[in-house]
Structures are given as structure tokens and as C-alpha cells.
Amino acid sequence: MSARTTWGLSLLAMLATATANAQSMDDLFGDDLPKKAAPAASAAKPPAEGGLRFSGSLEAKAAYTMPKPEHWSNLRLRGLLNAQGGSGNVKWKLGARADGDAAYAGMNEDIYPAPVRKDQKLGFELRENYADVELGDVGLRLGKQHIVWGEMVGLFVADVVSPRDRRDYLSLELEPIRRTQWAARAEHFAGDWHSEVVLIPVQTYDKIGKPGADFYPYPTPPTPGYAYVINDEQRPERNASNMGGGLRSGFIKNGWDVSGFAYISRDVAPTYERQVVTGPTPATIYTPVHDRIRQFGGTVSKDLDGVVLKAEGVYTNGRRFTVNRLDDADGLLAADSFDYAVGADFTLPADLNLYLQLTQRVLTRHDVSMNNDKVESGGSVVLKRGWGNWESSVLWASSLNRNEGWVNTQISYRLRPNSRIRFGAEWFYGPATGYFGRYDANDRVWTEFQQSF
């Protein structure tokens, strides 16, 4: 039975998205344990009065990849520290995160290339570092911050501003994989309406890691007879022409949450320009760059007595997509795209929660040598249940264009209010040219302990 036929039999039996084109999928797909992502704290509603306050977390994670060669793919310690303070109409927050991964330090030298081990053995990142200024009905947030525009569970369809850490993001929750943007944001609240204007003087981009990493977003499979080379990523210069900005406005009325936005920026995800070299040593050479794109979209949700219906979409102009024909000058085809998602979240008896979602990308132009179809459809189902201090979940994500997918199961136990331990397993299936299928060698089991304070 084909994937399309299976979908016809269970239209809303899935949540998430799957496309075979690496940059397409990475633009859309989020985390493995969906839950509604909390929007960034409103700049117009700063934290309550108080003195200096500290918060953070400590996390230890171990992951063991099972397909040969078997190896530890994570042995990571991570710490996050936040400080908050201020008074009156001015509040502030400072935050940073640091981690070290023994799986990339002094071991696995025959598994991961040296650039991968160097990139992933140690990490440091500024998180939220901003000042909030309240001016009547207008709130200003200045500094490094999260800007969350999407409403869907575990997806990045309308969440166009947020860059991500994509080196391990298939097994992480949304908050840890989101990267912050340096931005000036003004928000205004008037009755049922909420509007915001965002200016990003210096963009932050997706952290894609180095070739040879478990989840590096390769643009296309190697071409037989040609060496396969990927250059260092080229980030745009920090000048006025590469600034980003946009506006968003919406309302909440009679249970309807509706918003629309327009946003212009450099794409947070890379596009891979290609050069074909002939001669004694033929090679295809790819260089990750960031296109200038324009995006227009919106979100809508409605709560109907225990069932939350939601949808969001975004039209993108200026993005280029990979083609595999060697006679194409740069291996790219410019095409506008429309991405949308529709779904429903159910609260069921026996503490069950069911998340269902269908996603689709439609391209205005298409080439037969692309890894993806002109219309790519996907989805998945997530079932979660909590009892006492325990919580379990099962996710199945699948493409509807081909037989490929991803299954993730996990169970967690809350040791005390601020600490938990999780155990999980995930596996991939499908063709090597597919989005999920290319990760078939990354099936793994993992455990994680987290202490918050």
C-alpha cells in the first residue's frame, strides 16, 4: 500500500512534516516531543518587581548509535544560567549556555572527522540578553531574544524569525534548539489587538555543524564519478543591506487567535551553491550561502471544548532549491514556495493527549532532477500520556510522497518538581536520498537527566 493510500485511510494520523529536499525539510520540522511552544515574554509586560534573580538548569545526556559502527554519539554535559533584575519600567535579563561532549573529545576519531569533533566537543552561546522598557501601551525589548511567531506544535512553518541548532535537533525540544536573534522589538496592545515591529541589525543563522556530523544537512547525494566537496559556510556581511525586519499583527476574540505577518531577511537556513569541476579529478563543490528572502504569512487557532484546531502558512519569495543536473550553472533553481500546516490537538480521557497535523509545501517551479516533488506532503501523529510522575510519548512522522519516516518513543520520570530523567529510542527508514532515509544509520537509544533551579 502506498503512502498516499495510507494517508487516505487515516487523513489526520500524523503530526510534523517530511520532505526529501534537505533545506526544505529543515525549514519546517521541529522537535521530537511536541508541546505548544510558549511565545517569548511580551516586551510590554516585563517581569514582576523584585531584586536580582537567578535561574537555570544542568543537563547530562548520553546517546548510543546502534547501526554499525556502534558508538556513543552523545556524552554531553550542559549548563544554562540566567540572571534577571530591574525595577519600574525597565527590566533586564542575561543568559548563557555552555556544554562539553566527551563523544567528540578523545574518542570516536574513526567515526567523526576532526572538524566535526572540534565543532561539537565544546560549545558556548549567549541566550537571552535583553532590556525591557515599558512605555505605556508600548513595550520595547532591545537585545538578544527569542521571537516566536508560529502557533503549531513542533513545527517551524510560520516561525520564520527563529534560527535553530540543527546539529542534533531531531531529538531535542524546541526551546533548547532555538537560537536567539539580536533585535529591537516594539509591541503594542490595544484591546483584543496585538501588534509588533521587529528590526534585526545583525542576524543569527542556523548552526548546521560540519560535514560528517550525524545530522549535517547535505544538499544532495554524491554524484558517481565526482568528488564531493563542501566549502565553509559563507555568512553575509554585517551591513545595512543584510539587516532583517518585519511586522506582525493579530487579535484574540471569541476564542479565535488570528495573526498575519510580513518579514524580510537573509534566510536563516543555508542554500548550497554548486560548482562543477571537470578534468583529471572531477568534483562537485558546494558552498553554503544565505539567500535574501521575503516572507508573508499568518496563523489561526480556535479552542473547541478540548479540541484545538490550528493552521498556519507562509509564502516565500527569493529562495533557491537544489537541482542535481550537472549542466546547471550553480545547481540551484529559484522558486517561490507556499508552506502550510493544519492540525488538531485533542485532550482525551485517561490523561491522553493526541496531536495530529498535515503539512505541505508547493513550489511554483520544479525540476525533474530535484530530490523533492513539486508538491511535498507529510505529517505524523504524537500520542502522549501522563500518570503520576511518569509521562510517555510515541511519535511517528512520515512522508506522503515516498515510503520513509521516523519513529521516536520516550518515557520520563519526574524525580522532584525541578528534576527529571528521560529514556528514549528513535529509528529512521526510507531511501538514502530521502530526508528521513538518509539518517538510517543514526538509529539510537538515549537517556537524559535534567535539574532546573
Cell of 428: 529512521
- Nearest to residue 21, comparing CAs of 169, 219, 245? 219
> 109-117: which pairs have CB atoms within 8 A and are 24 or more residues apart?
110/69, 111/69, 111/71, 112/212, 112/213, 113/210, 113/211, 113/212, 115/210, 115/211, 115/212, 116/209, 116/210, 116/211, 116/212, 116/213
User: Looking at the domain assignment, is residue 326 inside a domain?
Assistant: yes
With respect to residue 452, please indicate whether it lies within any of the assigned structural domains. no
Residue 451 lies in a domain: no
In a domain, 174, yes or no: yes
* Cis upstream peptide for 280 (omega within 30°): no
Q: Residue 104's domain is classified under what CATH number?
A: 2.40.160
pLDDT, averaged across the chain: 88
Residue 25's pLDDT is: 43
Across the strands, what pairs with 263? 246, 295
**124, amino acid identity:** F
What range does the domain containing 267 cover? 3-393
pLDDT value at 22 more than 70: no
pLDDT of residue 33: 38
Q: What is the pLDDT of residues 257-299, one digit of tens each?
A: 999 999 999 999 999 999 999 988 999 999 999 999 999 999 9
Beta strands in 88-128 (DSSP E): 90-101, 122-126
- Give a yes or no: residue 154 inside a domain: yes
**Beta carbons of 239 and 203 less than 8 angstroms apart:** no
What is the model's pLDDT at position 232?
95
Task: State the Cα–Cα distance between residues 408 and 392, nearest whole angstrom.
Answer: 11
Q: Cβ distance 316 to 326 under 8 Å?
A: no
* β-strand partners of 268: none
User: Is 402 domain-assigned?
Assistant: no
Average pLDDT score over residue span 207-227: 93
pLDDT in tens, 212-221: 999 999 999 8
The domain total for the chain is: 1
pLDDT band at 171 (very low <50, low <70, confident <90, very high): low
Is residue 387 situated within a structural domain?
A: yes
Give the CA dihedral 2, 380, 271, 428, nearest 10 degrees.
-70
Q: Which pTM was predicted?
A: 0.85
| CA 136/CA 151 separation, integer angstroms | 27
pLDDT bucket at 155, cuts 50 / 70 / 90: confident
Confirm whether 427 is domain-assigned: no
